[in-house]
Amino acid sequence: MTLEEVLEKYTVVIGLEIHAQLLTHSKAYSADPNEFGAVPNTNVSPISLGHPGTLPRLNAQTVNYAVKLGLACHCDITRDMHFDRKNYFYADLPKGYQITQDKTPVCTGGYVLIKDAQGNPKKIELTRIHMEEDSGKSMHDLDPFNTLIDLNRAGVPLLEIVTEPVIKDAVEAYNYLTEVRKLVRYLGVCDGNMEEGSMRCDVNISIMPKGAKEFGQRVEVKNMNSIRNVAKAIEFEIVRHAEVLAAGGTILQETRNYDATTSSTVGMRKKEAAHDYRYFPEPDLGALHISQEYIDEVEKNQPPLPNDLLIKYTTKLGLSEYDALNIIDSKNIAMYFEDMIAKTNQYKKAANWLMGSVKSYLNQNALEIKDFPLSSDRIVQLIELIEEGAINNNIATQKVFPAMVENPDKSPKEIAEANNWVVKDDSDELEIIIKDIFSNNPDETKRFKDGERKLTGFFMGQIMKATKGSADPKTTAQLINKIINTI
Ligand code: ADP
Ligand code: MG
């Protein structure tokens, strides 16, 4: 069956659970460093190891980040909450339980605004966001006989972001994840790197016949390390479900693993009908109260968010939505743009330079904007130099910009002057050059005078060559016409 065939008969229902590792200095309930890539089992104190007699202590930064994200997602912030123990036995969970929030998640409700498959705006409603801790990391493929465990990750603070079952297809899931990743990066709460596992996503998916009132049996897919793979896993599952149903089978409630090498999913474990995590309030952590003053303070210090910038760029600055989204896509690019527009009101030109020459340079050299040699000041100076008419656009992109990148400490003006690239608006000098060119090319000149207008290009080329491209094209065209009539 093809995806299209399935979608004719079935409605797809998807809910996503995202785990975001927080960029705090220390762990959620201890002072152990929270750091990616450290030597295994070095960031572990008796608290991370769950030794008897140790006590957790809540990291205030975790709460701050949770409220930041909650406000950015328009959630209700819970004022009085507690933590819960989720009990289960696994080798990478030394305490034998995870400290999480069951009954009183820090955020409820809210939504993330995305575009649906048709490009229309859609609110993806959130069920909740809660605070919890990561487990250690089990590595099954490093040793042929044993599973190795790194407990550095045990106790790293997480926010779990759960959506309502309102996502309809792979495109919406893709756009939602991209938006959440953008949001956590703008907020600085998580680095959003799915490849490193600092943002992870579980997909819950089911299908039901079109028009049906009741959801189908859902399956949970884990272990996707890119947003693209989440979309692929969804498309695979949709077809698999329909094929199972068409063959008279039933969908089992199970957890499946995504295998990127085959772009398919494999059954991992059957879920029992009811979990038995035996949640109960964590007795070692006190109740947590969040005051209105605290929420106001977080709100006041929120950085500019992607949607605010989109509105600002498309209304106040008059950029197209396409350009605006292009800039906002990366926080660091947007911050560079913000620096530029603080110094010039040539907004459209600033956007064009950033999305054009600057981005091509970055792509060609596989660099990030933070490694770009030129400050935003330099690009603004270049834009101003063009505006003044001191250099033309061609010279600016083809000569001055490449020279600036090589000499970041020189201003575009110094560079243009030193290389003789400043526009010759000296018509006398240009007239002499044009007359010379006419007399050196008698044949073309005669044909041009006799009306062969397409030779304009030929003469333009000759003049640009003689002036190293610095002649102003408009003045040159006027002079060519003036002089030819006097010959
Ligand atoms: P669990 O704790 O077992 O993972 P939850 O009730 O917290 O279960 O739901 C997890 C996710 O599954 C949520 O994002 C929810 O929207 C989604 N979900 C629930 N029912 C369905 C369904 N029938 N089809 C697809 N997604 C679903
Ligand atoms: Mg789940």
AA letter at 204: N
**Is 368 part of a structural domain of the chain?**
no
Sequence-distant (6+) residues with CB within 8 A of 122 are: 113, 114, 115, 116, 172
Beta carbon of 163 within 6 Å of any ligand 1 atom: yes
**Is 36 part of a structural domain of the chain?**
yes
Other C-beta atoms within 10 Å of 18: how many?
A: 23
Smallest CA separation from ligand 1 atom 13, residue: 15
Beta carbon of 164 within 6 Å of any ligand 1 atom: yes
**Is 181 part of a structural domain of the chain?**
yes
Beta carbon of 229 within 6 Å of any ligand 1 atom: no
Ligand 1 atom index nearest CA of 206: 24
- The phi and psi torsions of 24 (rounded to 5 degrees) equal -90, 165
**Is 237 part of a structural domain of the chain?**
yes
* CA–CA distance, 98 with 288 (Å, rounded to integer): 18
Where a domain ends, among 293, 314, 349?
A: 293
Q: How far lies 344's CA from each of 303, 354, 378, in Å?
A: 22, 13, 12
Nearest one of 136, 233, 138 to 177, comparing CA atoms:
233
Nearest one of 355, 332, 422, 345 to 383, comparing CA atoms:
345
Nearest one of 365, 421, 18, 67 to 198, comparing CA atoms:
18
Beta carbon of 13 within 6 Å of any ligand 1 atom: yes
* CA–CA distance, 47 with 29 (Å, rounded to integer): 8
AA letter at 143: D
**17: CA distance to ligand 2 center in Å?**
7
On whether both 286 and 433 belong to a single domain, the answer is no
Beta carbon of 152 within 6 Å of any ligand 1 atom: no
**16: CA distance to ligand 2 center in Å?**
8
Q: Residue 442's domain is classified under what CATH number?
A: 1.10.10.410
**Is 449 part of a structural domain of the chain?**
yes
Where a domain ends, among 277, 293, 309?
A: 293
* CA–CA distance, 87 with 276 (Å, rounded to integer): 8
Beta carbon of 206 within 6 Å of any ligand 1 atom: yes
Please report which residue ranges of 342-400 form alpha helices under DSSP H: 347-353, 359-364, 376-387, 393-395
* CA–CA distance, 349 with 442 (Å, rounded to integer): 42
Beta carbon of 208 within 6 Å of any ligand 1 atom: no
- Count of structural domains within the chain: 2
* CA–CA distance, 337 with 327 (Å, rounded to integer): 8
Where a domain ends, among 293, 326, 361?
A: 293
Domain that holds residue 480: 427-484
25: helix, strand or coil: coil
Show the tokens assigned to 472: 């102003």
Residues 330/182, Cβ–Cβ less than 8 Å? no
**Is 338 part of a structural domain of the chain?**
no
Pocket test for ligand 1, best of 204, 255, 272 (most atoms within 8 A of CB): 204
**Is 81 part of a structural domain of the chain?**
yes
Digitized pLDDT (tens) for each residue of the chain, 487 residues in all: 899 999 999 999 999 999 999 999 999 999 999 998 899 999 999 999 989 999 999 999 999 999 999 999 999 999 999 999 999 999 999 999 999 999 999 999 999 999 999 999 999 999 999 999 999 999 988 999 999 999 999 999 999 999 999 999 999 999 999 999 999 999 999 999 999 999 999 999 999 999 999 999 999 999 899 999 999 999 999 999 999 999 999 999 999 999 999 999 999 877 655 578 999 999 999 999 999 999 999 999 999 999 999 999 999 999 999 999 999 999 999 999 999 999 999 999 999 999 999 999 999 999 999 999 999 999 999 999 999 888 988 899 999 999 999 999 999 999 999 998 887 666 778 888 899 999 999 999 999 999 998 999 999 999 988 888 888 888 888 889 889 888 7
* CA–CA distance, 309 with 325 (Å, rounded to integer): 9
* CA–CA distance, 114 with 104 (Å, rounded to integer): 27
* CA–CA distance, 344 with 317 (Å, rounded to integer): 11
Strands 84-87, 264-270: pairing is unpaired
133: helix, strand or coil: strand
**Is 398 part of a structural domain of the chain?**
no
87: helix, strand or coil: strand
Q: In what order do the strands lie in the sheet with 84-87?
A: 97-100, 84-87, 280-281
Sign of the torsion angle spanned by Cα atoms 428, 434, 437, 441: negative
Torsion, CA 202, CA 208, CA 211, CA 215, rounded to 10 = -60
Ligand nearest to the CA of 173: 1
